[in-house]
Amino acid sequence: MGRLFGTDGVRGVANEDLTAELALGLSVAAAHVLAEAGSAPGHRPTAVVGRDPRASGEFLEAAVVAGLASAGVDVLRVGVLPTPAVAYLTGALGADLGVMLSASHNAMPDNGIKFLARGGHKLADELEDRIETVYEQHRSGEPWDRPTGAGVGRVRDYDEGFDKYIAHLVAVLPNRLDGLKIVLDEAHGAASRVSPEAFARAGAEVVTIGADPDGLNINDGCGSTHLGLLKAAVVAEGAHFGIAHDGDADRCLAVDATGAEIDGDQIMAVLALALHEAGRLRGDTVVGTVMSNLGFKLAMERAGLQVVQTAVGDRYVLEAMKEHGYALGGEQSGHVIVLDHATTGDGTLTGLLLAARVAATGRSLAELAAVMERLPQVLINVPDVDKSRVNTSGELAAAVLEAERELGSSGRVLLRSSGTEPLVRVMVEAADIEQARAVAGRLADVVKSALG
């Protein structure tokens, strides 16, 4: 079988790809790998388990808890909370591991399992590989080491996690949000209670939409992947701006008072300048990805700041941040990591810090976000080509060089092989949208002829 772990845990259609049996088995394997790593003799391991509101999360949570407890791990069940809340609580409570059941921005039928190591950190590839190896060994007939009697894990609800996480969020804000009216779209997801409570405690007047999860409506026409409802609500309410999360609230996108979208690059630009002003942007550097808009990089350079680019994926952003000690990084999609206060992307924290900057400066979100100009970006997917030759074709290299000469310093070309499909992605940025489309179209034609 193929590798179970993808770029963000194990994900698939609940009860089809992601079954109760798989959830239980992976949890026992994770207990053996994560709970035993570095434990002192006689140590009784603990796990924090949370989920988003998907209906399938109910039976999958039961399977995960059963697996952990059967492996001798005590379980603190925190209920419906965002992924970053589970990560924070895993670290704050000194737990040996954390487990989050969520498929993030995916549609309701999907679900996923994300394991977190001590401290609330995402797993390195080698830890995921070890968990998968232990799981496969058991499937092939190797028995588990099963405790009995007092050795089995105990399970209890940890309702205090809700207040503990909100108190953490509010405590790290540099200033209050009094005087701001903010619309929050919770995607009928994991932050439906947390985010409105945190913003209200910080002093904002809060209007919520998409905050009535029923287990079936998560991400359904709302949240960070569908901003239409939020745009309309902000304008109708006369709010200062709006914030949108995804199903597990590790993302944050925004709209200004007119309903115009503010993406992850713009949010990072605003936060980078705030951290720089406060002397907390270590190395005067922000971490983005190769898909970050060129306008973001140009804006940071104008401010005397550097941008380090990684492969696409918040895990790669986080790796670069941890390796070099950088304070801020993220993606255009709204995954923003503020490493002084979170071990992963935290949509609620990001929204709060963005609001705090608006409150502190007295400037509108539109004015703050105008620090960067989003250059027009055209993306064309070219299917049915030999993506393995994208970096070796002389014809393609020549075409890219010519495109880069034409665009000059105000444009950019990026060719990427898809990680999951037989296609190559052609991305072109330019100051003029028509120029971007023309260059991208020409390059796509060369990709077809050179790699077809």
* 450 phi and psi angles, rounded to 5 deg: -80, -30
Residue 372 DSSP code: S
195 is in an annotated binding site: no
159 is in an annotated binding site: no
CA–CA separation, 85 and 265 (whole Å) = 23
CA–CA separation, 193 and 211 (whole Å) = 7
On the 0-12 / 13-18 / 19+ scale of CB atoms within 10 A, 217 is middle
CA–CA separation, 321 and 230 (whole Å) = 32
Question: Distance between alpha carbon 139 and the CA centroid of its chain, in Å?
Answer: 31
Please identify every residue annotated as catalytic: 104
Helix pair 264-277, 347-361: axis angle to 10 deg: 60
250 is in an annotated binding site: yes
| Strand, helix or coil for residue 52 | coil
CA–CA separation, 245 and 259 (whole Å) = 16
Neighbours of 27 (CB within 10 A): 30
| Strand, helix or coil for residue 95 | coil
246 is in an annotated binding site: yes
Burial 154-193, CB ≥16 within 10 A → b, else e: ebeebeebbebbbebbbeebeebbeebbbbbbbbbbbbbb
CA–CA separation, 418 and 447 (whole Å) = 14
Neighbours of 41 (CB within 10 A): 4
Instruction: Name the binding residues.
Output: 104, 246, 248, 250
Instruction: Name the binding residues for Mg(2+).
Output: 104, 246, 248, 250
